[in-house]
Amino acid sequence: MKNCSDAWLEKLSLAKNSPIYPKGQFIFMEGSLVMGAYFILKGKVKVISSSLDGKEHTVRLAREGHMLGHTAIGMEKYSIGAVTLTDSQVCFIDNQTLQAAFMENPKFTFEVMRFYSRELRKSEIRTKCLALMNNEEKVILGLLYIADNYLPDPNDNQVEINLSRQEIAQIIGTNSEQVSRVLSSLKKDGLIETHERAILLCDIRKLKEVISHYAFATQY
Amino acid sequence: MKNCSDAWLEKLSLAKNSPIYPKGQFIFMEGSLVMGAYFILKGKVKVISSSLDGKEHTVRLAREGHMLGHTAIGMEKYSIGAVTLTDSQVCFIDNQTLQAAFMENPKFTFEVMRFYSRELRKSEIRTKCLALMNNEEKVILGLLYIADNYLPDPNDNQVEINLSRQEIAQIIGTNSEQVSRVLSSLKKDGLIETHERAILLCDIRKLKEVISHYAFATQY
DNA sequence: ACCCAAACCTGCGATTTCGCAGATATTTTT
DNA sequence: AAAAATATCTGCGAAATCGCAGGTTTGGGT
């Protein structure tokens, strides 16, 4: 992400002093005051948003190199929250420094713009899929979405996922019962295995085939 | 949008020669080759994406000042299509010119980045709502989303919408029958009126109240 | 003014989803 | 290691959604 800026790398390289948040920790909460933006140096993070009735939805997963919270700049409060899914090192950059970095590093700004435009495309694909798919397809989509965010090498065909049924449900907008049902069915078909709470996607390519009639669904 | 660039305004002001697309016309189609990006100078546009089974989904509405198709830069083909909803004047900018404009006008790039980050936030709110809402709420959300894109003044409390039931259904991921049913019910409650095919939202604020328990649902 | 095609409305049965509830399994605490 | 708390799985009836079918209205052309 920041291989685009120059002397600014130094300024930003307070990075090395960035705190490590343990798993399950809030980086910032919905409703808190906006002071700046965050870069993920290491780890996995979920971006969440709540409805008044207490339900919580996971709007996005993020990983190393991703930027968080910048959308809120110009607003008073964050309209989303961010929670670590694994131990994560996160670098905070205040508004003014970030603004100055943008103005003096066009390439950096350009890359951030491209990041957001790609994330927008991904979000739109997700919206479309969640709007058109049935439960089983949504769960598979969710698993693949998580896998994409966890996989080091996109060519790998297996990955282990360590999220609760509830957390998976919040990603695709359903409840834990539905997720359980689909997981049982997928297990019967040999597409996944479960060891204790962990879910092993045995054959990612085959899972993608199941929902392949939704063009671009697997384009994360 | 472009009050951010400088001498480039001239270069880009071939704008004045930009073609006017009649209502219902494709600006670019899913699968066609990527040559550059488009700015909407005047009019309303829908961004669509299809599944293999022929269903079509409207992923985004756009209006004056919005940018289209830039996400695709770096890819070979567009993964989305764009269709005019009203007669619209649209300016085309080829990849190279756009790239150069970005590099020489940091403020311009910055504003485009903010545009995409806001659109991402909007898309995520939409995803959340469509995932959690029932049919009636989705239709209301869709009407308000359309209204937002059509209203000249955000303080107005009334607006007339001229889209078919099918088109509304494609925005919220349902079918025209469901939309009809909900519209009938809203008409009975006096929240909307229909004249011929047009839909008049009589009281936008009251409609927003109906779905207000979804925090931020009306934050477009 | 008439006709035709397309869009719209609405009833109804089939299907899917929902969500509680109880059984089982896993993790944490004592 | 036992007990308590939490998470998961699965059955089942209730509710919502789906999609066809048939009747009605609208828009455009002749």
**Tens of pLDDT along A117-129?**
999 999 999 999 9
Q: Please indicate, yes or no, whether residues B84 and B147 belong to a single structural domain of this protein.
A: no
Instruction: Give the residue from A73, A128, A145 with the most B CB atoms within 10 Å of its CB, the best one to mutate.
Output: A128
Angle, alpha carbons A99-A86-A122 (nearest 5°): 60
The pLDDT, as a whole number, for residue A120 is 92
CATH number at residue B44: 2.60.120.10
Q: Would you say B184 and B174 are in contact if contact means Cβ atoms under 8 Å apart?
A: no
A157 touches strand D (CB under 7 A): no
CATH number at residue A137: 1.10.10.10
B184 touches strand D (CB under 7 A): no
Supply the pTM of this predicted model: 0.90
Residue B219 within a domain? no
Binned at pLDDT 50, 70 and 90, residue B1 comes out as: low
A86 touches strand D (CB under 7 A): no
Domain boundary among B92, B126, B160: B126
| Residue B50 scores a pLDDT above 60 | yes
- B140: which residues sit within 8 A by CB, 6+ positions away? B182, B186, B207, B210, B211
Residue A41 within a domain? yes
Binned at pLDDT 50, 70 and 90, residue B5 comes out as: low
Residue B205 within a domain? yes
Residue A54 within a domain? yes
Residue A80 within a domain? yes
The pLDDT, as a whole number, for residue A71 is 76
User: Distance between CA B203 and CA B96 in Å, rounded?
Assistant: 46
- Shortest distance between the Cα of B82 and any Cα of chain A, in A, equals 14
The pLDDT, as a whole number, for residue A100 is 87
The pLDDT, as a whole number, for residue A107 is 87
The string of pLDDT tens digits covering residues B73-127 is 667 888 899 999 999 999 888 888 888 888 888 888 888 898 899 999 999 999 9
Q: Which nucleotides of C are covered by protein (CB under 7 A)?
A: 7-11, 16-21, 26-27
The pLDDT, as a whole number, for residue A197 is 84
Domain boundary among A126, A158, A177: A126
Q: Please indicate, yes or no, whether residues B44 and B116 belong to a single structural domain of this protein.
A: yes
Which residue ranges of chain A lie beneath pLDDT 50?
A: 220
User: Distance between CA B91 and CA B19 in Å, rounded?
Assistant: 7
Instruction: Give the residue from A8, A66, A71, A213 with the most B CB atoms within 10 Å of its CB, the best one to mutate.
Output: A71
The string of pLDDT tens digits covering residues B172-188 is 999 999 999 999 999 99
Closest residue by Cα to the C1' atom of nucleotide C25? A196
| Residue B2 scores a pLDDT above 60 | no
Task: Look over chain B and give the mean of its residue pLDDT values, rounded to a whole number.
Answer: 87
A12-16, A213-217, B29-33, B189-193: range with highest mean pLDDT: B189-193
Q: Which among B116, B128, B212 is the nearest to A116, CB-wise?
A: B116
* Three-state DSSP state, B205: helix
- A49: which residues sit within 8 A by CB, 6+ positions away? A30, A56, A57, A59, A79, A80, A81, B124, B125, B128, B215, B216
Domain encompassing residue B207: 133-211
Q: Please indicate, yes or no, whether residues B155 and B174 belong to a single structural domain of this protein.
A: yes
The pLDDT, as a whole number, for residue B9 is 65
Closest residue by Cα to the C1' atom of nucleotide C26? A196
The string of pLDDT tens digits covering residues B126-140 is 999 999 999 999 999
User: Which nucleotide has its C1' atom closest to residue B167's CA?
Assistant: C7
Chain A partners of B100 at a C-beta cutoff of 8 Å? none
Residue B144 Cα distances to B138, B172, B208, angstroms: 10, 11, 8
Q: Please indicate, yes or no, whether residues B163 and B121 belong to a single structural domain of this protein.
A: no
The pLDDT, as a whole number, for residue A196 is 81
Closest CA to B183 of B211, B217, B129, B142: B142
The pLDDT, as a whole number, for residue A95 is 86
Closest CA to A165 of A145, A132, A143: A143
Domain tally, chain B: 2
- Shortest distance between the Cα of B4 and any Cα of chain A, in A, equals 12
Q: What percent of chain B is modeled with pLDDT above 70?
A: 89
Q: Please indicate, yes or no, whether residues A77 and A154 belong to a single structural domain of this protein.
A: no
**What value does the mean pLDDT take over residues B27-54?**
88
Chain A partners of B110 at a C-beta cutoff of 8 Å? 102-103, 109
User: Which nucleotide has its C1' atom closest to residue B196's CA?
Assistant: D26
Residue B1 within a domain? no
